[in-house]
Structure 1
Amino acid sequence: MRFSQQYKRRRLMSEINIVPYIDVMLVLLVIFMITAPMLTQGVKVELPQANANPVESSKDHEPLLVNIDSQGRYYIDIGKTPNQPVTANELLDKATVILRHKPNTPVLVGGDRSVPYGEVVKLMALLQQAGAPHIGLITEMPVKQKPH
C-alpha cells in the first residue's frame, strides 16, 4: 500500500516554461519594428539658445543663407542676384550644388515673422533634402524696453 501512495503523490515542478514569454517578446519586437520608423519623422534643426552668441563666419565656412518672406517666396543669398525670388526646385538645385561642393557649409534659415510655421518647415525639409546636415535659424536679439 505504501508503494501505491508514492505514485499518487506528485512531485513539484521547479522549472519555468519560457515558451509563452518568447512568444510575447517576438510579438513586441514586431510591434516596435513597425512603429519605430513612424516615430522618427521630422526635420532636424539646431534651435538657437536664448543667450546665444553671434555665429562667426570665416572664408572657408561661410554660411548659406536662405530666407522666406511673408508671401512664402524663397531667397538664396548666392550669385549676382540675392534679392531675386527662386522657386522650390531652383532652391533645391542650388543648395544641392553648394552642399556637395562644400559639405560642411552651415545653413541658416531666416523667415519673416508673419510666415506660417508650416512654410518654414517645408523650407527646412527642402534644405535637408539638398544635403544640409544641420540647419540653424536666424533670429534677432530682443530689444530691451526702457522703463517708463
Structure 2
Amino acid sequence: MKGPYSRGHKRKLSSEINVVPFIDVMLVLLVIFMITAPMMTQGVQVELPKVTSKPIDNPDDVTPLIVSLDDSGNYYIDMGSDEDKRSPVALDELGSKVAAIVAEKPKTPVLVKGAKTAPYGDVMGLMSTLQGAGVPNVGLISEPPNEG
C-alpha cells in the first residue's frame, strides 16, 4: 500500500540549470554586435537638408555682430560696416575683438554666417573661439530653400 508519505521509487530532483539556450542567445548577440559595431563608428556622407526657419527677433537699437567664414577658411567680423572694406581676421585676433565688443555691449547678438562648403572643423573652431570670448549664445545664419 502506497500512501502519500511512502518511500517508493521517487524521481530525484535535479537542481542544475540548463544554460545551453542562454549560450546560444549570447553567441547570436555577440555576432550581431561584431557586425554592427564597425558601422556605428564610421561616418556617412550626407547632404544636409535646407529648412525654413523663423527669423530671430532683433530689437531696433541693437546691431548684431556677424562673424563670417568663407569656403577658403578666412574669418571676417561685420558690425554694420561696408562689406567691400572688410579684410580677413586671424582666429585668435577675432576672439579678442569679439570679447571686447561683447564686454562693451553684453546684449549684442552674435551670428555666424558660414559658407556651405566651409570645412566643419573650421566652423567648430570658430564656435569654440566665440565661446571662449564670452559669447553666451551664437545664432547661425541660413538662407531659405529655393521655392519652385
Q: Normalised by the size of structure 2, how large is the TM-score?
A: 0.59
Q: Distance in 2 between matches of 1:79 and 1:54?
A: 18
Match of 2:127 among 119, 124, 128: 124
- Give RMSD over aligned pairs: 2.1
- Which structure has the bigger radius of gyration? 2
Runs of 4 or more above 6 Å deviation: none
Residue in 2 that maps onto 1:68: 69
Residue in 1 that maps onto 2:140: 137
Change (3 A) 1:56 1:79: closer
Residue in 2 that maps onto 1:53: 54
Which residues of structure 2 form unaligned runs of 5+? 1-50
Deviations 1:38-63 (Å, cap 9, x if unpaired)?
xxxxxxxxxxxx44222243343221
Change (3 A) 1:76 1:99: same
TM-superposed CA distance for 1:90, in Å, is 1.6
Change (3 A) 1:79 1:85: farther
Q: Distance in 1 between matches of 2:145 and 2:64?
A: 23
- How many percent identity over aligned positions? 44
Which residues of structure 1 form unaligned runs of 5+? 1-49
Q: Contact 2:64–2:79 at 8 Å: present in 1 too? A: no
TM-superposed CA distance for 1:103, in Å, is 1.2
Q: Contact 2:74–2:89 at 8 Å: present in 1 too? A: yes
Residue in 1 that maps onto 2:38: none
Q: Contact 2:110–2:137 at 8 Å: present in 1 too? A: yes
Q: Distance in 2 between matches of 1:85 and 1:141?
A: 26
